[in-house]
């Protein structure tokens, strides 16, 4: 199958498998891989590639050597909404096991007020025969690296995806709205800081009720004691919030955070083996630690607001393609389909 059709597979002349598609001005750490990256199609990377897993919602997205965590956080919106997933990646396209497969895929991205079709070939950047940018933790699933290539084409190159705002990617992938607010304001007085923090916590707790329907992301803008990642910016996914009782009876709120880099980077009190877990019943603590997957960690709410700089949340989109208010749940006027 491979040898018979390889010569006839689509090669995108507008986004070729070359350095012009990888680099913009060689100004990011990606430039150190110049000359080392090869381009392979999914069937050259694994024996049985597929576009989606049986349950796309359960597959973790994982960042590679490209600094586009902001984009990957937004991709989680597609896992939460069947409507958005089929809108961005239209179903029915021939893939690797189909006789009509031609080596190309078409996605839709929201640009300047409407959905724009973007077609790519399926040659993907690799190092040592493996994907070097984004991938699903289930390595034979390829919707994520293909969508990342579409987004790189829209921006002109992969390098131009290095560092960005989660809110921008959320708008591009949902056709909706996103809200971002800062948790740090150097100009606020101590009293205003305390008052503002109480209000922020109240709003955030309410918005966490939407966690199953929209993306909630948090960001670190500079190196911190807690989240020590390389570089000055990194975005994370907030996936859960739990209200628990301490051993001494006082309530504690824990947040479940996912790092797109796929490794646990947290060094705070609630890291694995941290002293925070002694505040909970040992059975509860053991259960919570057993739940986390690769790249996930728990953070206490007070620690969260101290260590993270920004929160971004995408407005929910119904399965009918209608945008909802974050705060009231009412449908917002306008055509987002």
Which sequence spans correspond to the domains of the chain? 19-174, 178-314
Residue 206's nearest CA partner among 171, 256, 237, 241 is: 241
Per-residue pLDDT, 242:
96
Per-residue pLDDT, 248:
79
The span from the first CA to the last CA of the chain, in angstroms, equals: 38
| Cβ atoms of 269 and 275 closer than 8 Å | yes
Element of type H or E holding 253: strand 251-258
Element of type H or E holding 219: strand 216-220
Per-residue pLDDT, 275:
92
Q: CATH topology for 178-314? A: Cathepsin B; Chain A (3.90.70)
Per-residue pLDDT, 111:
96
The secondary structure of 89-139, three-state, reads CCCCCCCCCCCCCCCEEEEEEEECCEEEEEEEECCEEEECCEECCCEECCC
**Residues belonging to the active site:** 69, 234, 259
Q: Which residues contact 307 (CB under 8 A, 6 or more apart)?
A: 220, 224, 225, 226, 227, 268, 299
Per-residue pLDDT, 54:
87
Helix 143-155 vs helix 166-174: angle between axes, to the nearest 10 degrees? 110
The Cα 181–Cα 184 span in angstroms is: 9
Q: Can you give the pTM of this predicted structure?
A: 0.90
Per-residue pLDDT, 231:
42
- Give the mean pLDDT per block of 10 residues along the chain (337 residues): 61 98 95 97 97 83 95 95 96 94 97 97 98 95 98 98 96 96 73 70 91 93 54 82 88 94 77 92 95 90 91 94 89 65
């Amino acid at each position: 199958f491979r040898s018979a059709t390889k010569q006839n597979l689509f090669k995108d002349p507008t986004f070729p498998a070359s350095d012009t598609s990888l680099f913009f001005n060689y100004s990011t750490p990606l430039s150190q891989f110049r000359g080392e990256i090869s381009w392979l199609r999914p069937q050259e990377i694994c024996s049985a590639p597929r576009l989606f897993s049986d349950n796309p919602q359960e597959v973790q997205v994982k960042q590679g050597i490209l600094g586009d965590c902001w984009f990957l956080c937004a991709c989680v919106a597609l896992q939460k909404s069947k409507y958005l997933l089929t809108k961005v990646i239209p179903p029915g396209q021939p893939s690797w096991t189909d006789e009509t497969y031609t080596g190309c895929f078409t996605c839709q991205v929201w640009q300047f007020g409407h959905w724009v079709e973007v077609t790519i070939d399926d040659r993907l950047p690799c190092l040592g025969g493996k994907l070097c940018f984004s991938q699903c933790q289930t390595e034979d699933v390829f919707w994520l690296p293909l969508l990342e290539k579409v987004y790189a084409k829209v921006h002109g190159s992969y390098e131009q995806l290095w560092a960005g705002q989660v809110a921008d990617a959320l708008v591009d992938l949902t056709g909706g709205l996103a809200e971002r607010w800062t948790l740090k304001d150097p100009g606020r007085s101590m009293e205003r800081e305390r008052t503002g923090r109480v209000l922020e916590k109240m709003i955030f707790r309410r918005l966490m009720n939407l966690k199953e329907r929209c993306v909630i992301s948090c960001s670190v803008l500079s190196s911190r004691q807690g989240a020590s990642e390389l570089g000055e910016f990194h975005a994370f996914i907030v996936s859960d919030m739990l209200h628990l009782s301490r051993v001494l009876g006082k309530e504690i709120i824990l947040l479940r955070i996912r790092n797109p880099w796929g490794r646990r980077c947290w060094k705070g009190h609630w890291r694995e083996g941290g002293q925070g877990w002694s505040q909970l019943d040992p059975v509860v603590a053991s259960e919570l630690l057993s739940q986390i997957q690769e790249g996930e960690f728990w953070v206490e709410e007070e620690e969260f607001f101290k260590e993270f700089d920004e929160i971004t949340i995408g407005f929910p989109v119904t399965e009918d393609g209608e945008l909802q208010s974050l705060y009231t749940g009412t449908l917002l006027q306008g055509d987002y389909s």
